[in-house]
Structure 1
Amino acid sequence: MKVTILGSSGSVSSPTNPASGYLVSTENSPSLLVDIGPGVMAKLQELQDPCEAHVAFSHLHADHCLDFPSLLVWRRFHPTAPAKSRNLCFGPTTTPVHLGRLSSSSPDEVDDMSDTFAFDSWQVGQPQIIDRLTVTPFPAVHPIESYSLRIQEHTTNKVVAYSGDSGWTDSLIECAKDADVFMCEATWGAGNGTYPPEMHLSGAEAGRIARLAGARSLVLIHIPPWGDPNGAVAAARTEFDGPVTIGESGLEIIV
């Protein structure tokens, strides 16, 4: 299993880093695109045919989903290589309406994605089999319906855990339990300040979750362009003694 970070910038994209988008690849099966924020569609084109991917959304804030209408255009209207069949799409319950309004021709309409994606909504703790992967959603703490995702490859049983956007919650510890790679948001950087509750994590909190979960490595993500990645890493290392890295666009993680 390989995870390629297409983008990991928090809240908005940066000049060198799109917003959230993570490509999970396995041999002989379509890849899984986890979130598709602004700029992610362009990066995806550098690596593969955009039609050859299932899609999973952690939540529907703009920095995690705004390139989805562009993916629909590619799949439907590419002049020589449109999508040959439907792929799977998973997300919060409102996904078809929320994203259907984004891609419709009128603000009063909802574009029906069912011609190109078969959608199912996340149910907490209910695994979904996506080809060679099993993805299990855990409840995140965020202002809208949001999930953290545990992704397990069937043949190796390797696990990648993805926090999505979340404040502190013990369910993140469960999601990341014994994970080979824990990709965790660290929006608040070193955590030196006063921040809104129940929204995001600091580097120290990400490190603490990784330690309590027994994760083998920690990749810090979702740090905005105005953020403090070095401070986030330093804070995480006060809590977690395993490898800690910044998840920059283009990073490939072999699991």
Structure 2
Amino acid sequence: MNLTVVGCTGSFPGPLSPASCYLVSAFDGERTWRILLDLGNGALGTAQRYLDLEDIDAVFLSHLHPDHCMDLCGLHVAVRWHPDGWSKGRIPVWGPEDTALRMATAYGLDPDPGMTEEFEFHSWSARETVKLGPFSITPYPVRHPVDEAYAMRVEAVEPGPDGPVTRVLTYSGDTDSCPELVEAARGSDMFLCEAAYHEGRDDAIEGIHLTGKRAGAAATEAEVRRLLLTHLPVWNDSVRTVQEARESYSGDLAVAVAGVSYVI
């Protein structure tokens, strides 16, 4: 399984990165499958550096704040108005219950049909696993001020020299500390975890985001192998975020950078 950071800037695009979007790929023995975790504002353009849009097998949305979903509107245009026709049919989209309505409203469309001719919308059910190609994606409800916000546990089974190999990536979405985040991340090979806040500046704010220290504590409790901090706003100091995480996590640690890929 491979992870490519398409966009990782928190809350709105920055000068060096779009908002949240992560390309995850895995090989099932016959072909490579490609899914997007979130598609925040600014991400669709950058995503085309790493894949043809017609190669998107599905989009999985953690929640419906614009920095995690709004470029679905641009993808709608790409599907609907491709001058040569879109060859791959509707793109499956998993997200909160209101995803189809929210996207139609954002683009000024009548909700019927809205974007349902371009996307095959599915609603998350907490802890109910979605299977797609080599992937199994399980959503866990987390703590963020929207009706539905989820962390996603992504498991991929790929062929290996000694038989099938399973790798696990957990993506926090946006969340403050909660038991469900640790549950989602338990034993992951990589924990892609937001750390939008700083200790001493934001740590008194409850129920919105993690600090580096809180992210590290969740990673330690979940016993993850690697922690990749993400969703840092443009005003955050990444060195400070890492130092905070080091107070509570002693394992493999880095900060997500747009354009960097990881083998999981």
Give the TM-score normalised by the residue count of structure 2: 0.92
- Percent identity over the alignment is 33
Q: Secondary structure at the match of 1:46?
A: coil
Which residue matches 1:36? 39
- Between stretches 167-176 and 109-118, larger displacement belongs to 109-118
Q: How does 1:229-244 map to 2 (within 5 A)?
A: 229-244=238-253
Q: Deviations over 1:102-127 (max 9, x none)?
A: 1234xx65652222222111111100
Which residue matches 1:20? 20
Q: Deviations over 1:122-178 (max 9, x none)?
A: 111100002110000001101101000000002321000000000110111110000
Q: Deviations over 1:157-213 (max 9, x none)?
A: 100000000011011111000000000000013x12244210000001101111110
Q: Secondary structure at the match of 2:201?
A: coil
Q: How does 1:115-130 map to 2 (within 5 A)?
A: 115-130=117-132
Is the contact between residue 6 and residue 43 of structure 2 (CA under 8 Å) also seen in structure 1?
yes
Unaligned residue ranges in structure 2 (runs of 5+): 159-164
Cα distance in 2, alignment partners of residues 246 and 78 from structure 1: 36
Is the contact between residue 190 and residue 224 of structure 2 (CA under 8 Å) also seen in structure 1?
yes
Which residue matches 1:92? 96
Is the contact between residue 101 and residue 111 of structure 2 (CA under 8 Å) also seen in structure 1?
no
2:64 maps to 1:60: yes
2:186 maps to 1:186: no
Which residue matches 1:138? 140
Residue identity matched to 1:76: R
Q: How does 1:167-246 map to 2 (within 5 A)?
A: 167-189=176-198, 191-194=199-202, 195-246=204-255
Is the contact between residue 104 and residue 111 of structure 1 (CA under 8 Å) also seen in structure 2?
no
Pairwise CA RMSD = 1.4
Cα deviation for residue 246 of structure 1 reads: 0.6
Residue identity matched to 1:142: H
Residue identity matched to 1:100: A
Q: Secondary structure at the match of 2:54?
A: coil
Which residue matches 1:9? 9
Residue identity matched to 1:8: C
2:151 maps to 1:148: yes
Cα distance in 2, alignment partners of residues 196 and 104 from structure 1: 34
Cα distance in 2, alignment partners of residues 213 and 198 from structure 1: 20
Cα distance in 1, alignment partners of residues 33 and 66 from structure 2: 25
Cα distance in 2, alignment partners of residues 30 and 104 from structure 1: 32
Q: Secondary structure at the match of 2:257?
A: coil
Unaligned residue ranges in structure 1 (runs of 5+): none
Q: Secondary structure at the match of 1:90?
A: strand
Is the contact between residue 76 and residue 83 of structure 1 (CA under 8 Å) also seen in structure 2?
no
Is the contact between residue 51 and residue 74 of structure 1 (CA under 8 Å) also seen in structure 2?
no
Give the TM-score normalised by the residue count of structure 1: 0.95
Is the contact between residue 242 and residue 255 of structure 2 (CA under 8 Å) also seen in structure 1?
yes
- Say if 1:212 and 1:125 are closer, same or farther in 2 by CA, change over 3 A: same
Q: Deviations over 1:3-22 (max 9, x none)?
A: 10000000111111110000
Residue identity matched to 1:44: A
Is the contact between residue 185 and residue 191 of structure 2 (CA under 8 Å) also seen in structure 1?
yes
Q: Secondary structure at the match of 1:235?
A: helix
Cα distance in 2, alignment partners of residues 167 and 173 from structure 1: 11
Cα distance in 2, alignment partners of residues 51 and 113 from structure 1: 17
Is the contact between residue 31 and residue 52 of structure 1 (CA under 8 Å) also seen in structure 2?
yes
Q: Secondary structure at the match of 2:176?
A: coil
Q: Secondary structure at the match of 1:85?
A: coil
